[in-house]
Amino acid sequence: MVTSGRQETEMEYRKARNLCIRLAQTVSAKIGCVQAAHPQARYALEQVELLREMKVDDCGIEATGVIVEITAALAEVLPKFIVGDIDEAGAFASLREVVGPFWWARLMQEPPMQDYAKSCFEFTRMLPHISGDVLEIGAGVGNYSQLISKIPKKYYRTDIQRSFLTGQYSKNEFVYDFDAKSDLRNLDMVVSVNGLHCSRDKTKALRNMFEVLKPGGVIVLAEGEPIVSLSGEPWALGIIFSIVSGWWAVGGFETRENWISYLKASGFESIGTSRLLESAGNGENQMLDLGGLIWGYRSSKVVSSAYR
């Protein structure tokens, strides 16, 4: 059974979207007609092409803060990366240098990115599982960690990058790669906010999570949607993250339908989804589907032989 619901965001995505469209137009004007050689540069170029013809909408007050700083810096760095003047490491280093460590650290911690963690927390705090043993994977900068940290009986906070594990939100922190099997067992809940799309093989990674859960345990993912409107509009912030592999999946998000298939293939059932929506601002009551939550349960019944 698949159930669904919805939740709405503020206007932060639309403000960010406008800046990303302007960024794509600037980059496009600087690079002209090129073919990018490096796979990530190809992804960046693809995002530029998807966004450059789009119109900036009138959503009121201009964006401020980190999104302004990052898109301004990317207008310098991205063209050099796409045409091959600098490689991935060089692009990343230049970006950090141009924006500085303060803005760089804030990039993932402000709306609209934070909306995914908030909606995940709003949902998970209603589940009885949250009071039990909980594993967060791809916990990174900690948007969700800071909300949940004091609630579970035991809260394991993990990421593939040690630098994110500062002890700030949990005493039980360790490096864990969700593409590998875990020794943990009998947990009540596994949760990940914009993390699992980075996995090499989604079904295998979800199967690893199935195995750490107890019967009746739940997995909750918050993930963005690659296409946000019926007219095929891309999730605009892909252009920002196009040069950050490892921290972000280069290649972008997976569709909700794909996640449902991966969850089913890994043995989960009673799958549900909810949408994170924002007004398209075109005066026609259309909504942008920014992705949202996908969850599934490890059956409390006897596990069928197909999944053993």
Ligand X SMILES: C[S@@+](CC[C@H](N)C(=O)[O-])C[C@H]1O[C@@H](n2cnc3c(N)ncnc32)[C@H](O)[C@@H]1O
Query: Per CB under 6 A, which region of 4-12, 30-38, 194-202, 259-267 contacts ligand X?
Result: 194-202
Q: Pick between residue 79 and residue 121 the one whose CB is nearest to ligand X.
A: 121
| Tokens coding 65 | 């803060």
Give the integer Cα–Cα distance in Å for 13 and 278: 8
Q: Pick between residue 116 and residue 268 the one whose CB is nearest to ligand X.
A: 116
Is the separation of the CB atoms in 153 and 183 below 8 Å?
no
Q: Pick between residue 147 and residue 277 the one whose CB is nearest to ligand X.
A: 147
**168 binds ligand X, rule: CB under 6 A:** no
**292 binds ligand X, rule: CB under 6 A:** no
Q: Pick between residue 26 and residue 119 the one whose CB is nearest to ligand X.
A: 119
Q: Give how far Cα 256 sits from Cα of 58, 61, 221, 296, 301, Å.
A: 29, 31, 11, 13, 26
Q: Pick between residue 139 and residue 277 the one whose CB is nearest to ligand X.
A: 139
Q: What is the CA radius of gyration of the chain?
A: 20
Give the integer Cα–Cα distance in Å for 289 and 235: 9
Q: Which residue has the tokens 């195995």?
A: 211
| Tokens coding 144 | 């969700």
Query: Closest approach of Cβ 157 to ligand X, in Å?
Result: 10
Which residue in 182, 180, 189 sits closest to 125, CA to CA? 189
Near ligand X by CB under 6 A: residue from 177, 211, 233, 269: 177
Is the separation of the CB atoms in 257 and 65 below 8 Å?
no
Size of residue set near ligand X by CB under 6 A: 25
Q: Which amino acid is located at 17 in the chain?
A: R
DSSP state of 190: E
**86 binds ligand X, rule: CB under 6 A:** no
**140 binds ligand X, rule: CB under 6 A:** yes
DSSP state of 162: G
Applying the rule CB under 6 A, the residues between 21 and 60 that interact with ligand X are: none
Distance of CA 163 to the CA centre of its chain: 19
**81 binds ligand X, rule: CB under 6 A:** no
Q: Which residue has the tokens 């990115």?
A: 113
**107 binds ligand X, rule: CB under 6 A:** no
**255 binds ligand X, rule: CB under 6 A:** no
**211 binds ligand X, rule: CB under 6 A:** no
Near ligand X by CB under 6 A: residue from 16, 66, 117, 228: 117
**92 binds ligand X, rule: CB under 6 A:** no
Query: Closest approach of Cβ 1 to ligand X, in Å?
Result: 28
**254 binds ligand X, rule: CB under 6 A:** no
Q: Which helix (H) or strand (E) holds 243?
A: none
What φ, ψ does residue 211 adopt, rounded to 5°? -70, -25
Q: Enumerate binding residues for ligand X (CB under 6 A).
A: 108, 117, 137-144, 159-161, 164, 177-179, 193-195, 198-199, 246-248
